[in-house]
Structure 1
Amino acid sequence: MTSDTSSINPVEAKEDDKHVIHPPSFTWPAIRGYFSTRLSSLIVSRDEYSHYSLHEILNPFKPLVEMNLHQWNFFLLGFLAWTWDALDFFATSLNLTNIAEDLDVSVKDVSWGITLVLMLRTVGAIIFGALGDTRGRKWPYMINLFLLVVIQIGTGFVTTYQQFLGLRALFGVAMGGIFGICAAEALSDAPTKARGVLSGIFQEGYAFGYLLAVIFQRALVDTTPKGWRSLFWFSAGPPVLLIIWRFFTPETDAYLSQRAKFQEGAMNKSSKVKEFKSQAKAALKSYWLILIYLILMMTGFNFSSHGSQDLYPTMLTKQYGYGADASTVVNVCANLGALAGGIVIGHLSTFIGRRTAILCGNVITCAFIYPWAFKPMWVTAFFMQFGVQGSWSVVPIHLSELSPPQFRAFVSGVSYQLGNLVSSASSTIEATLGERFPIDPAKEIYDYGKTMAIFMAAVMVYLIIVILLGPENRGANLGGERKAVYVEESDDSEHEKADIKEIGIKTKVSEV
C-alpha cells in the first residue's frame, strides 16, 4: 500500500497492515529518509493491486454494495446536512442584488455578509468540533441545524442592513460547525473500500447544494411576492426533518468506542475537564506537525475552489458577454463536472492513494487552466471543476485519516475552516490583480481570464508541492484505535503529566 515509512513522518504504514504514528524526529537521517520517499510513496505496489479486480477499480459504485443500513443511515445524515448547509450559504450569493435593493444598500455592502460568514466559520468549527468529540456528535449536529433554521427564518424578516449583518455573522458560526461533525458522521463507520467514493460524494454535497440553490432560486425568487425572502424561509424547512431523524438515531460505533476510552481515562481523574485537557495536550504533543500541515493543505485547497469559482460568473458576463441563461448553463455544467470528478477521483483514491489521486486532479486542473480562462464554454468549465473538485473529493477522508483520533471532528473542521479563513481574500486578490489588465476601465471591464489563469497557476504550484511533500495514512481504522491512543496516567496527583511514551499509536486496517 502507499507507505510513508520514514521516522520523521508521524504516519507510517507497514506490510502487516498496521499504521504506527509517532512524534516526529528531526534528526538529519530521519529528514533525509522522509523526503527520499515522497516520490516512491506515490506508487502503489503491484502486490496490493493484485488484491483488487479490474471491476472494483473501474466501477466507483461497486464498494457501495457492501454498505449496510447502519452505514448508509449515518452517511446520508452527514451528506444531507452538508448539502443543505451549502444551499443556505448560496442563498445569499445568488441574491446579492435583490437584497441590496430591498435594504437600500450597495451590492458591495451586502457582500460583506459573505465575508463575515467566511471569517467566523472557524469559531463555529472550534465550538462544535470540541463538543462533537467530547459530548457526542448527536446533539451538536441537532443544535447546529436548529441554529441554521432560526437564522434563515430571521434573515427572511430583516428590515435593516445591521440586522442582516448580525444574522450573517451568526450564520458563519453555525456553518463552520457543520463540516467536521458531518464528515465524522458520514465516514467514521464506513467500510474501508467505500471511504474513497463516499468521501467524494460527501464533499460534492457542496456542489449539489449550489445546484439546488439555483433550482429553488428560479422556482421561488422570481415567482413569489416576497422574492429573495421566500428562498430563506423555504431553506429553513428541510433541516427540521434532519433534526427529527437524528434525534431517533444513536451515536456512531466509532464515537461510542472513542467515548468508552475517554470515560475510562476520566475515571482516574477528578473531572472530565482534566481528562479533556490531558488528551488535548497529548494530541498537540504528538500531532503538532500534522496539524500545521493540514492547515497549509486546506489553505491551498480553499484558494483553488474560491479562485476558480468566485469571479467566474463575472468573467462570463462582463468580459465575454454571456447572457443570464448562457452563464447559468456554463455554471451548471461546471458543477456537474465537480460531481463527476468527486465520484471518480474520490473512488480511485482508495486504490492509487490519497496523495496520488489529489495530484491527478491537480494535473487535470493545470491542463485546463488556459482553455477555461480564455475559451470559456461548458466543456472547459466541466473539466476544470472535474479537476478542482475531484482533488477536493479526497479531502474529507484524508483529513479524517490524518487527524488525531481523540479529536477527529475538531481537527477536521478547524483545519478546513482556517484554510477557508486564509483564502477568504481570494476574490479580492483576483479583483485587485485584474485592475492591472484593463479592457474597458470606464465600464469596469477587466481581463478576468488572464487574472484567474495567473492566480490558479500559482495556487496549483503551491498545492502540488504541499501534497507531494505531505504524509498519508490511507486505510487507517477510524473506529477501532487501540487503547494506547489515549493518555493514561498512573497517579491522580500528577494532574496533567501524561505518559507520552505510551502514545505510540497502532491502528489496524479494517478488513472489508
Structure 2
Amino acid sequence: MSSTPAVRERLTPDQRNAFTGAFLGWTMDAFDYFIVVLVYAEVGKDLGVSLTTMALLTTATLVMRPVGALVFGLWADRVGRRTPLVVDVLFYSVVGFLCAFAPNFTVLFVLRLLYGIGMGGEWGLGAALAMEKVPASRRGFFSGVLQQGYSTGYLLAAVAYYLIDPHLGWRGMFAVSIVPGLLALFVRTRVRESAAWEQTRERVALTRTTPGQVFRNPLVLRRFVYLVLLMTAFNWMSHGTQDVYPTFLKEGLGFSADSAIGIAVIYNVGAIIGGTLLGAASQRIGRRWTIVGCSLLGLPVLYLFTQSTTFGMIALGSFLMQFLVQGAWGVIPAHLTELSPDEIRGFYPGVTYQLGNLFASLNLYLQEDIAAGHGYPAALVWTLVPVLLCVAGLAAVGTERRGAVFGAGAGAAAVDVRGSGASSPDRG
C-alpha cells in the first residue's frame, strides 16, 4: 500500500472531461432518483396509492441497479469504458423522461425498474474511468468530489422541486430531468478511452487471461464478498439518513414543503463539503480510518438528527449527519477502484456497490413501516445505530490499496490469477 503524498498535478483536458462526465452522470442519476423521494407522497395521492406502496418505487430502482452494473460493467471490460457509458447515459435519460407520462402506478413502477438498470451502469463505469484518468496523488480529492455528484443531484432536485413542482407538478419534475442527462452525454462524447484499460487489454491478449479466471481467484472472491457487505452497510447508512427524511420533516414534524426543502438544501451543502474535504483527507490518513471516524462520529450526531423539533436544530443536525455520512462516501470511488483487479474494473466496483444497494433496497419500506407504528424518530434511530456500527466495524477489519497503480499489472488486485497468492500483503 502506498501513502502517496498529496502533490498537486494539473489535469489535462481529457482528464477534466472524463471527470466532469462522471460527475455530471452521477449527478443526473441522483437528481432523478431524489425526484421520486421528494414527490412520492404527491404521486401517491395523484395515483391513489398508499405511502408504503409508493416506497416500493425506490426499491424497484435499487433492485435493478446490480443488473445494470453487471451488464454495462462486463461490456466495458470487453470493449472499453467510453461506448458503454454513452449508451448508458442515453438510455437512462430517455427512461427518466418517460416517467413524466406514466398513466398509472404500474407503468411508473416498470419505468423505475428500467431506470435502475441505467443508474446501476453509470456509477461503476463512471468511477472506473474517472479514477483511471486522474493522477493517483489526487485520487482521494477527486473521489470525494465525484461521489458528491450524488448530493449535488439531491440538491438540484430540491431546488427543482421548489421552482418547478408548484407550477408543473411531479410530471414536470421528471420531464426536466432529461436536460442534465443530455449535458452529461455531450461531455462523455469528448472523452478518450482509458489508457489503463488499453494497457490491460494488451496484457490480457499476451497472457490469455480471462475475466472469469481473475474473478475466481480466491483473494478476489473473498474481497468481492467483503465489499458487498461493506456496500450494503454503506447504502443502509446513506438511504437511511436521506430517503425518509423529507417525509419525516413534513409528515412527522409538520414542517411546510418550503421549510423541508430549505433543510434539504442545507444538509446537501453539508454533504458536498464533507465528501470533498474527507475524501481529500483520506489521501493522507487512509481510506479505512476516514470511514471509521465518520461513522462513529455519526452516533452522537444522531440525537440532533432525530430528536430535534425546531428548524435551526434540525438544520444543524442534518447538516452534521450528512457531512459525516457523505464524508465516508467520498472515499468510496477511490477505495473500490483501487481494490478492483485491472481486468475487471468495469464490472467489480459497480457490481459490489449495486449489490449493496440491492440488499439495502427495503430501507425506505422498513422505515415507513416502523414509523407507522412508532413514529419517524424511532424508525431512524432503530435502523441507523446498528448500521453506523456495522460500517465502522467492516471498514476497521478490511484493507485498502491507497495509491494503487492502474493498468500496470500490479495494481488493485495484486494477485496471480493462476491462484498462487498475493504479491503484497492484503487481508481482504
Q: What is the TM-score normalised by the length of structure 1?
A: 0.76
Question: Contact 1:482–1:506 (CA<8 Å) still a contact in 2?
Answer: no
Which residue is 1:378 aligned to?
315
SS across alignment from 1:377: helix
1:133 aligned partner, one-letter code: D
Determine if the alignment matches structure 1 residue 264 to structure 2 residue 206. Answer: yes
Q: Output the CA distance in 1 between the equivalents of 2:243 and 2:37.
A: 10
1:319/1:140 Cα in 2 relative to 1: closer, same or farther (>3 Å)? Answer: same
SS across alignment from 1:472: coil
Determine if the alignment matches structure 1 residue 241 to structure 2 residue 183. Answer: yes
Q: What is the Cα deviation at residue 393 of structure 1?
A: 0.8
Instruction: Map 1:100-179 onto structure 2 (within 5 A).
Output: 100-179=44-123
Question: Contact 2:296–2:389 (CA<8 Å) still a contact in 1?
Answer: no
Q: Output the CA distance in 1 between the equivalents of 2:317 and 2:411.
A: 50
Instruction: Map 1:172-191 onto structure 2 (within 5 A).
Output: 172-191=116-135
Counterpart of 2:407 (choices 467, 471, 479) is: 479
Q: What is the Cα deviation at residue 406 of structure 1?
A: 1.0
Q: Output the CA distance in 2 between the equivalents of 1:71 and 1:505.
A: 30
Instruction: Map 1:68-83 onto structure 2 (within 5 A).
Output: 68-83=12-27
Q: Output the CA distance in 2 between the equivalents of 1:84 and 1:303.
A: 21
1:426/1:104 Cα in 2 relative to 1: closer, same or farther (>3 Å)? Answer: closer
CA-to-aligned-CA distance 1:323-356 (integer Å, 9 cap, x gap): 2222222221111111111011101100011111
Question: Contact 1:77–1:185 (CA<8 Å) still a contact in 2?
Answer: no
SS across alignment from 2:171: helix
Q: Output the CA distance in 2 between the equivalents of 1:484 and 1:113.
A: 35
Instruction: Map 1:214-253 onto structure 2 (within 5 A).
Output: 214-224=158-168, 227-253=169-195
1:479/1:102 Cα in 2 relative to 1: closer, same or farther (>3 Å)? Answer: same
Which residue is 1:282 aligned to?
214
Which residue is 2:367 aligned to?
430
Which residue is 2:342 aligned to?
405
Q: What is the Cα deviation at residue 463 of structure 1?
A: 1.4
Determine if the alignment matches structure 1 residue 469 to structure 2 residue 401. Answer: no
SS across alignment from 2:55: helix
Q: What is the Cα deviation at residue 228 of structure 1?
A: 2.3
CA-to-aligned-CA distance 1:411-430 (integer Å, 9 cap, x gap): 11111111111111222333
Question: Contact 1:144–1:178 (CA<8 Å) still a contact in 2?
Answer: yes
Specify every segment of 5 or more residues in structure 1 that has no aligned partner in the other structure, as ranges: 1-12, 18-47, 57-61, 267-274, 438-445, 489-497, 508-512
Question: Contact 1:338–1:390 (CA<8 Å) still a contact in 2?
Answer: yes
Q: Output the CA distance in 2 between the equivalents of 1:477 and 1:78.
A: 20
2:206 aligned partner, one-letter code: E
Determine if the alignment matches structure 1 residue 312 to structure 2 residue 249. Answer: no
Instruction: Map 1:35-114 onto structure 2 (within 5 A).
Output: 63=8, 66-114=10-58
Q: What is the Cα deviation at residue 435 of structure 1?
A: 5.1
1:279 aligned partner, one-letter code: P
Stretch moving more, 175-184 or 256-265: 256-265
CA-to-aligned-CA distance 1:69-100 (integer Å, 9 cap, x gap): 22212111111111111111122222224433
Q: What is the Cα deviation at residue 290 of structure 1?
A: 0.6
Instruction: Map 1:496-507 onto structure 2 (within 5 A).
Output: 499-501=418-420, 504-505=422-423
CA-to-aligned-CA distance 1:220-275 (integer Å, 9 cap, x gap): 23224xx3222222211332333243234320211221222233345xxxxxxxx5
Runs of 4+ aligned structure 1 residues displaced above 4 Å come to: 482-488, 503-507
Stretch moving more, 465-474 or 251-260: 251-260
SS across alignment from 2:336: helix
Q: What is the Cα deviation at residue 378 of structure 1?
A: 1.1
Determine if the alignment matches structure 1 residue 354 to structure 2 residue 291. Answer: no
1:339/1:483 Cα in 2 relative to 1: closer, same or farther (>3 Å)? Answer: closer
Q: What is the TM-score normalised by the length of structure 2?
A: 0.90
Question: Contact 1:262–1:486 (CA<8 Å) still a contact in 2?
Answer: no
Greater RCO (Cα-Cα under 8 Å, separation 6 or more): 2
Which residue is 2:298 aligned to?
365
Question: Contact 1:279–1:487 (CA<8 Å) still a contact in 2?
Answer: no
Specify every segment of 5 or more residues in structure 2 that has no aligned partner in the other structure, as ranges: none
In terms of fraction of residues, the more helix-rich structure is 2
1:309/1:78 Cα in 2 relative to 1: closer, same or farther (>3 Å)? Answer: same
1:148 aligned partner, one-letter code: Y
Q: What is the Cα deviation at residue 409 of structure 1?
A: 2.1
1:103/1:389 Cα in 2 relative to 1: closer, same or farther (>3 Å)? Answer: same
CA-to-aligned-CA distance 1:107-155 (integer Å, 9 cap, x gap): 4443322221111111111101111111111111011111112212322
Q: Output the CA distance in 1 between the equivalents of 2:337 and 2:164.
A: 38
Determine if the alignment matches structure 1 residue 452 to structure 2 residue 380. Answer: yes
Q: Output the CA distance in 1 between the equivalents of 2:41 and 2:413.
A: 52
CA-to-aligned-CA distance 1:149-200 (integer Å, 9 cap, x gap): 2212322222233222221111111111111001012111211221111111
1:479 aligned partner, one-letter code: G
Q: Output the CA distance in 2 between the equivalents of 1:435 and 1:103.
A: 21
Question: Contact 1:374–1:450 (CA<8 Å) still a contact in 2?
Answer: no
Q: Output the CA distance in 2 between the equivalents of 1:483 and 1:85.
A: 29
Q: Output the CA distance in 2 between the equivalents of 1:421 and 1:453.
A: 22
Q: Output the CA distance in 2 between the equivalents of 1:485 and 1:252.
A: 18
SS across alignment from 1:223: helix
Question: Contact 2:161–2:173 (CA<8 Å) still a contact in 1?
Answer: yes
Q: Output the CA distance in 1 between the equivalents of 2:40 and 2:112.
A: 13
RMSD value, Cα: 2.5
1:506/1:69 Cα in 2 relative to 1: closer, same or farther (>3 Å)? Answer: farther
